[in-house]
Amino acid sequence: MSCYEITGGRPLSGSLAVHGAKNSVLPILAACLLVPGQCVLHNCPDLSDVSATIDILRLLGCRVDREGDTVTVDASLLSRSDIPDHLMREMRSSVIFLGALLARMGAAELSYPGGCELGPRPIDLHLSALRSLGAEILEEQGVLVCRSGGRPQNRELCLSIPSVGATENAMLAACGCPCQTTILGAAREPEIIDLAGFLRRLGAQIAGAGTSAITIQGGVPLHPAEYRIMGDRIAAATYLCAAAAATGEVELTGVDPDTLTAILACLGEAGCTLHTGPDRMVLASAAPLRGIRPVRTAPYPGFPTDAQAILMAALAGGEGSTLFVENIFDSRYRHVDELRRMGADIQIAGRAAMVTGVGKLHGASLRSTDLRGGAALVVAALAAEGTSQVSGLRHIRRGYQTLDRNLRALGADIRELP
Ligand code: EPZ
Q: Each residue of 372-389: pLDDT tens digit?
A: 999 999 999 999 999 999
What is the reported pLDDT for 341? 98
Q: Tell me, yes or no, if 39 is annotated catalytic.
A: no
Atom 35 in ligand 1: residue holding the nearest Cα? 306
Residue 228 CB less than 6 A away from ligand 1: no
Q: Rounded CA gap, 172 and 346, in Å? A: 41
Ligand 1 pocket check for 111: Cβ under 6 Å: no
- pLDDT mean over 225-247: 98
**Is beta strand 38-42 parallel, antiparallel or unpaired with respect to 63-67?**
unpaired
* Cα 132 to averaged position of ligand 1 atoms, centre (Å): 20
Answer whether 170 contacts ligand 1 (Cβ < 6 A): no
Q: Phi/psi zone of residue 12: left (φ > 0), alpha (ψ -120 to 50 degrees), beta?
A: beta
Q: Assign 115 a pLDDT band (cuts: 50, 70, 90).
A: low
Cα of 242 vs centre of ligand 1, distance in Å, is: 25
Contact 11, 246 (CB under 8 A): yes
pLDDT tens sequence across 143-194: 999 999 878 789 999 999 999 999 999 999 999 999 999 999 999 999 999 9
Residue 336 has pLDDT above 90, yes or no: yes
* Residue 26 alpha carbon, nearest atom of ligand 1: 15
- CA 198 from chain centre, in angstroms, equals 17
CB 44 within 8 A of CB 20: yes
Query: Which of 3, 116, 146, 177 is labelled catalytic?
Result: 116
Protein residue whose Cα sits closest to atom 9 of ligand 1: 164
Within 13 Å and on the Cβ side, how many CA atoms surround 83?
32
Predicted pLDDT at 21: 98
Q: Which of 92, 128, 132, 161 to mutate to test the pocket of ligand 1 (most atoms within 8 A of CB)?
A: 161
Ligand 1 geometric centre to CA of 231 (Å): 19
Alpha-carbon 170 to chain mean position? 18
Convert the chain into a string of H (helix), E (strand) and C (coil): CCEEEEECCCCEEEEEECCECHHHHHHHHHHHHHCCCEEEEECCCCCHHHHHHHHHHHHCCCEEEEECCEEEEECCCCCCCEECHHHHHHCHHHHHHHHHHHHHHCEEEEECCCCECCECCCCHHHHHHHHHCCCEEEEECCEEEEECCCCCCCEEEECCCCCHHHHHHHHHHHCCCCCEEEEECCCCCHHHHHHHHHHHHCCCEEECECECEEEEECCCCCCCCEEECCECHHHHHHHHHHHHHHCEEEEEECCCHHHHHHHHHHHHHCCCEEEEECCEEEEEECCCCCCCCCEEECCCCCECHHHHHHHHHHHHCCCCEEEEECCCCCCCCCCHHHHHCCCCEEEEECCEEEEECCCCCECCEEECCCHHHHHHHHHHHHHCECEEEEECHHHHHCCCCCHHHHHHHCCCEEEEEC
Q: pTM for this structure?
A: 0.97
Between the CA of 117 and the centroid of ligand 1 the distance, in Å, is: 12
Sign of CA dihedral 240, 312, 265, 207: positive
**Nearest protein Cα to ligand 1, atom 7:** 306
Q: Is 341 in the pocket of ligand 1 (CB under 6 A)?
A: no
Q: Which of 23, 194, 296 has the most ligand 1 atoms within 8 A of CB, as the residue to mutate?
A: 23
Predicted pLDDT of residue 405: 98
